[in-house]
Structure 1
Amino acid sequence: MTSTDQPQDVPGERPSWLDRLDVLVGRWDTEAVFEAAFMGPDSQDTRAPGSTTFEWLAGHRFLLQRFTNENSAFPSGISVIGAGPVTDTFTQRYYDSRGVERVYQMTFDGREWTLWRESPGFWQRYTGLLAADGTAITGAWAASADGQEWRHEFALNHTRSAAYN
């Protein structure tokens, strides 16, 4: 292979819309809030604190998201976010401590963050809103068996605790 040969799977120019994710870079304190009965018929409201960090992989083509939970009943894991198949979209590859791996589609316009997956029997979506000052994201997950009727799963909120340069 000569220096001018390039494997077919190496992308060309870095998509400019990846720059929108810069606002996420840093450390965030998180809190998931599960309403009574979510964990079982007799369960009370449950708050699960944790943290999430976002950092660019060298080359700034993939954003790494690492998340932990203080309550071992909830998973910790990692996600890799990159440019999606359509302009202005992203793909998130999710892996957690339970051994779960999922692929989500994602949009982020600098203010509204949306993740979704369409899987027969278990559709999911997250919608979060970044505060105007960039210090908080307020959002919630919802699930559906058919993509038509959605039920609230849990709130997931982020509060910035440290920004990275």
Structure 2
Amino acid sequence: MTSTELPQDHVPGDLPDERPAALDRLNVLVGQWEGAATFEAGFLGPGSPEVIGRSRTTFEWLEGRFFLSQHFVNEHPAAPSGLAIIGMSEGAGTFAQHYYDSRGVVRVYQMALEGREWRLWREAPGFWQRYIGTISEDGTTITGAWEASADGRKWRHDFNLAYVKTR
């Protein structure tokens, strides 16, 4: 039995009337990607060399196509693996990414995907973050970088993060 077959007093009040068309913008992410996070020399401790951490990321729609899952596995032991669920945000035309990783970290990011620009950001006391990535014209690569800030005013480069679509 579907929700349209249920008596009206049994239909949840938070059930959307229809799927927002803005979700279709996320289709560019769907598939399997190989990632490379580049950490500058000294990032992992004094005297540490530049490190390139490899990863695999899969984006796929959950049934109903209201939410996009992102599953990522990192090869470098200092980088977490995890899961994120992306859906519409309460803001006009933006998305929310609910992030969970192997360290036990839980975060909520705001996200925008406009044209070829993919942005993620969060404002948390003492640890603000933002990512800006550029999607290639053919949709097979994303190049970008994460930045961090203690106060949301003075930003520092955190690390580069690029993806290449494999399927």
TM-score, structure 2 as length reference: 0.94
Q: Which structure 2 segments of 5+ residues have no match?
A: 1-5
C-alpha deviation, 1:44, in angstroms: 0.8
Equivalent position SS for 2:166? strand
1:13 aligns to 2:28 (yes or no): no
- How many corresponding residue pairs? 162
C-alpha deviation, 1:3, in angstroms: 2.5
Matched residues in 1 for 2:163 and 2:115: separation? 15
Matched residues in 1 for 2:46 and 2:78: separation? 17
- The match for 2:120 is 115
Matched residues in 1 for 2:67 and 2:15: separation? 14
1:149 aligns to 2:154 (yes or no): yes
Equivalent residue runs for 1:1-165 within 5 Å? 2-5=6-9, 6-162=11-167
Give me the identity figure in percent: 57
C-alpha deviation, 1:71, in angstroms: 1.5
Matched residues in 1 for 2:37 and 2:69: separation? 20
Alpha carbons 1:23, 1:110 under 8 Å: kept: no
Matched residues in 2 for 1:92 and 1:3: separation? 33
TM-score, structure 1 as length reference: 0.95
- The 4+ residue runs of structure 1 with deviation greater than 2 A are 2-5
- Counterpart residue identity of residue 131, structure 2: Y
Deviations 1:11-52 (A, max 9, x none): 222111000001110000000000011111111100000110
Equivalent position SS for 1:92? strand
Matched residues in 2 for 1:58 and 1:4: separation? 23
Aligned CA-pair RMSD: 1.2
Deviations 1:137-164 (A, max 9, x none): 00110000000000000001000000xx
Equivalent position SS for 1:23? helix
Comparing 4-13 and 137-146, the one that deviates more: 4-13
Matched residues in 2 for 1:77 and 1:51: separation? 11
Q: Which structure 1 segments of 5+ residues have no match?
A: none
C-alpha deviation, 1:73, in angstroms: 1.9
Alpha carbons 1:20, 1:108 under 8 Å: kept: yes
Matched residues in 2 for 1:128 and 1:16: separation? 22
Matched residues in 2 for 1:130 and 1:75: separation? 23
Matched residues in 1 for 2:94 and 2:58: separation? 21
Matched residues in 1 for 2:47 and 2:77: separation? 20
